[in-house]
Chains A and B, each alone.
Chain A
Amino acid sequence: MVNTNTVQLRRPIRIPWLYIYSVLVIIYLFFPIGIIVLFSFNSSPAVSFPIRGFSLRWYMEVLESPVFLAALKNSLVVAVFTTFFCLSLGTLAALALTRYRFRFRPFVQSLFLMPLSLPGLFLGISLLTYFISLNLRLSLGTVVVGHVIYTLPYFVLVATARLERFDRVLEEAAQDLGCTPWQTFWKVNFPIIAPSMIGAALIVFALSFDEFLITFFVIGPESTLPMLVWSMMRKSIDPSVNAISVVLMLASLLLILFLSKVVDISEIEF
C-alpha cells in the first residue's frame, strides 16, 4: 500500500521544518522510555540526577525475586492462551467476514470491532460484574477471557485487511488442476495467509503480555507482570521497578523484531 508517487507533489521550496518536527515527535515518543532504561542502570536508588554510576544491581535483584518470576510465568501463560484462542477464533471469523456476503454482515463486523472502542475500564468492570453474578472465582482463566475479548478486534482487523487482498484466481486454478477444497486450503490459501496470521498473533501476544486496565479487575489474587509493576509503583520508591519495566518493554521489542521478520510492517493496517 506504500506506492504513493510524490514526485509531482514536491513544492519548489522543500520544507525542512516538517522533517525537524517529525524528529521531535519521535524524540517525544522515546524520551520517557529512554529515561527508564537509563535509570534502570543507575547504582543509586533515586530516580534523579546526577547519576551515581553504572550498575546491574536492580536487574540482579529482579531476576532473583520469586515474586517477579511468578508474575513473569503468569504473564506468559496468559499471553500464550490468549494468542491461541484469538488465533483460532479470529482466523475463522476473518475468513467468514471476507469471503461471504450474509444478511447481518455489517452488523457482525461492527460487533467484532466494538470492544476496540470501549475503554478498558468498561470491559473490565462488565466482566467483573458478570463473573460476580455467576459466582465464578477470579483467576488467570478469567484474565484470559478478558484478554481474548480485548485482542480479538485487533486480530480480526489485521487479518481481514490481509485476506481481502487475497487473489481468488489462485484458488480457482488449484481447483481446476484437481485439488479438493481441503487440499486447496492447505496448499494455496494457508501458505499465503500464514505470515499475516502469525503477524497478527504476535501483536495479540504483545497486547496481552502488557494488558493492565482489564486485568486489574478480573485477576483476583494472582499477579502478572503489569500487576506487579503497578503494585511496586504505588508503594514507596523501589528502583527495581525500572528494571522490571525494561524487561517488560524488551519483551514487546523482541516480539516486534520477530514480527518485522515475518511480515512487512507497512502492510499492517489499523
Chain B
Amino acid sequence: MEKILRVMKAEIIKQQQYDYHSYFVWCSLLIWPVLGFLEVYYTYKPFAFTGYLGIHDSGDLLAFLGTGYMAYTCFWSMVQNAWSMSLQEREDGTLEITFLTPASRMAMNYGKALGALIQEVWMFGCFCLFVLFYTHTLTLENLWALPLFLCLLLFSSMIWGGMLNAIFLYSRDASMIMDVFDAPMILFAGTRIPVQCFPVWAKVISLLFPLTYCLNIIRFILGIQGGGAEIMPDLAGLVICLGVMAGVTAWLIRRVEKHNRETGELQFY
C-alpha cells in the first residue's frame, strides 16, 4: 500500500513539474470552456422560463450550468490529458521506461489522472465556484458541502481518467473514439439540460454515463434544481459505474501489457 501511494504521489508531482503544454492547457481548459459556457447560457435566451424542474430564472440556470460545466470539464480534461500524455510519453520513450519498472500499473494510471486534474482544472473550477457563489447557490450556510462536492468530483473523474489512460495505452489512434463518445456525454449526462425532462429512451442512455450520477449527486448536495429528487438511486448508480470502470481499467491494463510485451509497441510513436 505504501508503495502504491508512493507511485501515485510521484506521478502527481511529475505531472506538476512537467506542466504539459501550458498554453494548450490555458486555452483548452479555461478559455474554451468559458466561451462554451457562455454560448450555452445564451442558447437559453430565446426561451421564457416556466419554472419547470425548478428553474425559474437565469440565476437558477447559471447554477445548473455552472455545476454541469465544471463536472464536464473535469471529465473532459481526463480525455484530453490521456490523449496528449500518451502521445508525448511515447515520443519521449518514457512510457516504455515506466513499464520497465515493477511499479503498480494501476497506481501509475490513477496517479497520472489525479495529477492532471489537480494541475489543469483548478482555473475553470474557480470560474465555476465564482458562478455558484454569485448565484447564491453556495453560501456560508452550505459551505460544508463544498469539500464533499469537490472530493466526489475528483474521485469520480480520477476513476474515469484512469480508464481513459488505459484505453490510450492500448491504441495511439483512440482520438476518434473519444470524439464520438464525447458528444453523447455532453448531451445525455445532464451537463446542459436536466435529464429529468428527457423522454424515456434518452433517460436510459443517460444511465450509461457515470457523469450523470455524479452530477445528480452534486446538484442534490448543493440544493440545485433540475437534479434528482432522491439521492440513493444515483449513489448506487455511481458506485456501480465506478466499480465497472475500475474493473475495466484493471482488465485493460493487464491486456495492454500482455499485448505490448508480445508486440513491443510501447516504443513506437
Answer yes or no: are A and B bound together in one complex: no
